[in-house]
Structure 1
Amino acid sequence: MDLKTLKTFQMVVKYGSFVRTAREMNYVQSTVTMQIQKLELDLGVQLIERGHGKEFRLTEAGRLFHDQSLQIVKRMEQLQSSLSNLQMGETGHVRIGVTEPTGSYRLPGLLKAFLSDYPNIRISLEFANTPTLSERVLKGELDFSLCSAPDLGEDLYFEPLFQEEFVVVLPESHPLARKEVLSLEDIVEFRLLLTSATCPYRRKLEMLIQEIGHAPLDTMEVGSMTALKFFVESGLGIALVPRIAVEPVSTGTAIRAMHGSRIHMNVGLLCKTTSYPLQLASQKLYQFLKLRLGEGATS
C-alpha cells in the first residue's frame, strides 16, 4: 500500500467512476482497476462492491477505510512537503552561538529579515564568549557561531566578516574628554573598567597594554560588555567598548576614538572544518549573515 494507491482509491470514491479517475490521474482504466484490486489484496478486505455495468458502492470496510485514509494521505503529503523543504533548506532547526554586542545590537533586525523569507526555519541562540562557543561548535552542540576569531586549530574554520570598532566611553567631565583621539598611554592613567578575564576583547586589550610596558594603575572588572557603559555613566571609570554598543551616546557621557586600528576586533562566522560548507537551513542562514554583515555591519 503506497500513497499513490491511496490517492487513486480516494479519487474513485470522489468521482464515483473508474473512468473519470483514470482521466483525472492520466492513467488507463486498467491501471486504476489493478491498483484498487491490489489495495484490497493488501488489506485482506473488499472495499468496493461492484454492481451491474460501471456501478459500484463502498462496503462497510470501504467506508471505514476511506474515512481513515483521508487523514493518512493528508499527513503523508505534509511529510513529503516537509522533507522536500528540508532538502531545499526551506525548513529545519539552526542552532547558532553569538557574542556580544553582535547578539543584541546586530542580530535582531537581521533575523527578523531572514525569518520573513524563511518562516519555517526555527532558530535557537546561545550567548557566550568565544572560547565557550568554540567548544560548543566542536562538540556539535551548535551549527555555527558568530564571534571573534578563536584560537584556531585544525578542527575549526573561521571566516572574518567585519571589524568591530572600539572607542573609549567616559564621563563628559573626565579630563580625557578634552582630547578628540586617545591612545593606550592615555587611558591606562585612569581607572579602567574591564570585562571578564575570559573575554577575547579584554585579552587583546591586555596584550596591547603589555606591549607599551605600562599596566593600568587602577582597574575594575565588570562581567558584562553591555553593562560597561552604565558603570561609566555612574562615574566609576572609563571603558573601551564597541562603538555600536554606546551609540547614541548616553547623557553625561562622551566617546572618543582610539589611535590606530590594532585595538579593533575581527568578527566572523565559526564552524567545524568538517562541517564547512554547511548544509540545508544552516547554510541558508550562514550565507544570509555573511552577505548582510559583510556589507553593512558598521552602518
Structure 2
Amino acid sequence: MEFRHLRCFIAVADELHFGRAAQRLGLSQPPLSVAIQQLEASVGARLFDRDSKGVRLTPAGQAFRGPAAALLAGAEEASALAREVQAGEVGRLRLGFVGSTLFTGLSSWLQAHQARHPKVEVIVVELNSQDQIDALLAGELDLGLVHTDRLPPSMASQPLYSEPFLACLPAHHPLAARETLPLAALSDQPFILFSRKGSPDYHARIVDICRREGFYPRLQHEGRHWLSVVSLVSQGLGVSIVPAAFLRAGVQGAVFRPLAEAIEPSAVFAAWRRDAPAVLRDQFLAARPG
C-alpha cells in the first residue's frame, strides 16, 4: 500500500466517479483504475462497487475511508512539520546566558525573536560562563551568551557587544563620593570577585587589571553570578569591578563609579559547538535588535 493509492481512493470516494476523480488528481482514468485495483489487492477487500448505476463504496470501503483519510492527513502534517523544522520555523532552542545580559537587552532580543518565529520555543537558563561551556560541550545547550571567547577547539564564538568596567562600592563607602576612581584607590580594600571556578578567564582578567595598576586585589568573597557580587558589595562586604550593565540592576546600597584608567572593556560573546545544527541558532542571532 502506498500513499498515492490512498490519495486515489479518497478522490474516488469523494467524487463517486472515476472520471471526475481522475481529473481532480491530474491523471487519466486508466492509471486511476489500476491504482484502485492495486489498493484493493493490498487491502484484501473490494472497496468500490461499479455498475451501470455508478460507483458506490462497499461496506469495506466505508470502513476503510476514515482511517485512510486520517493516515493521509497525518502524513501531510508530518511532511509540513519536517519542512518547518528544516526551515527553522518550528523547534526548541536551549539558550544559556550570563546575568549581565538581562540588563543589556536580552528580554527585547527574546521578544523580537518570538515575533519573527512564534513556533520556536526558546528555553533560557542563567549560568556562569564556565557552566555554559560545559553544558554546550555536553549537548545540554544550543547557544550560550558568555563573557569569554577562550573556548575549546570544538566550539566557535561571535562577539556581541562590549561595555566598560566600573568600580562598584557600598553606598556609604568614603570613596563613593568621588566622580571617578583610579584603580589604585582600591588597592587596600577587600574585594568581592566573580568566582574563579565559574569563569576562570573573567576572574583572571580582573586580577590582571589590578596587577597592571600595581596591586593584587585582596580577595574577601567570591560570587558565582555577577548579581551576587553586586549584592555582596551593597551589604558593605567589600568593593568590586563589574560590567557597566549592573548600573541598571537597581541594587539598593551599591553605587558605580567610572575608572580613571583606560581599561579593556567587558565583552559578551555568543558561543556554540561547531558541529551543532545552525538554523535555529543563526535565526536567533539574526533577531538581535540593532
Q: Tell me, what secondary structure is at the counterpart of 1:227?
A: helix
Q: 1:45 to 1:82 in 2, by over 3 A?
A: same
SS at match of 1:254: strand
User: 1-side partners of 2:255 and 2:151: how far apart?
Assistant: 36
The answer on 1:41 being equivalent to 2:41 is yes
Matching residue of 2:248:
247
2:60 counterpart residue number: 61
Letter in 2 for 1:26: G
> How far, CA to CA, are the matches of 1:49 and 1:74 in structure 2?
25
Q: Which residue of 1 aligns with 2:51?
A: 51
Give the C-alpha shift of residue 228 in structure 1: 2.8
TM-score, L = length of structure 1: 0.85
Q: What pairs up with 1:241-280 in 2 under 5 angstroms?
A: 241-247=242-248, 249-275=250-276, 278-280=277-279
**Which range moved further: 43-52 or 264-273?**
264-273
Matched to 1:244, the amino acid is A
Greater displacement, 150-159 / 73-82: 150-159
| SS of match in other structure, 2:172 | coil
Q: What is the match of residue 224 of structure 2?
A: 223
Does the 8 Å CA contact 1:169/1:239 hold for their aligned counterparts?
yes
In the alignment, the residues of structure 2 paired with residue 130 and residue 88 of structure 1 have an alpha-carbon distance, to the nearest angstrom, of 30
Which 4+ stretches in 1 moved above 6 angstroms?
Answer: none
1:134 aligns with 2:133: yes
Percent identity of the aligned residues? 24
SS at match of 2:267: strand
| Residue segments in structure 1 that go unaligned for 5+ positions in a row | none
Shift in Å, 1:274: 4.3
Cα distance 1:134–1:261, how it changes in 2: closer, same or farther (>3 A)? Answer: farther
Aligned to 2:227, what secondary structure does the other structure show? coil
Gaps of 5+ in 2: none
Partner amino acid for 2:131?
T
Q: Which amino acid is the alignment partner of residue 163 of structure 2? A: E
Q: Per-residue displacement from partner, 1:95-115 (whole Å, max 9, x unpaired)?
A: 232222225753233122212
Could you tell me how far apart the structure 2 residues matched to 1:183 and 1:265 are? 18
* Equivalent residue, structure 1, for 2:90: 91
2:231 and 2:128 map into 1 onto residues whose CA distance is 20
CA distance in 1, matches of 2:256, 2:250: 7
Task: Provide the aligned length of Structure 1 versus Structure 2.
Answer: 288
Structure 2 letter corresponding to 1:161: L
AA of the residue aligned to 2:278: Q
> CA shift at 1:263, angstroms?
4.6
Residues 157-211 of structure 1, C-alpha deviation per residue, up to 9 Å, x if partnerless?
A: 2221211332223233322223222222122332322222223433211122223
Query: After alignment, is 8-17 or 73-82 more displaced?
Result: 8-17
CA RMSD of aligned residues (A): 2.4
Q: Which residue number corresponds to residue 192 of structure 1?
A: 191
Opposite residue 211 of structure 1, the aligned amino acid is: R
Contact 1:103-1:127 at 8 Å conserved across structures: no
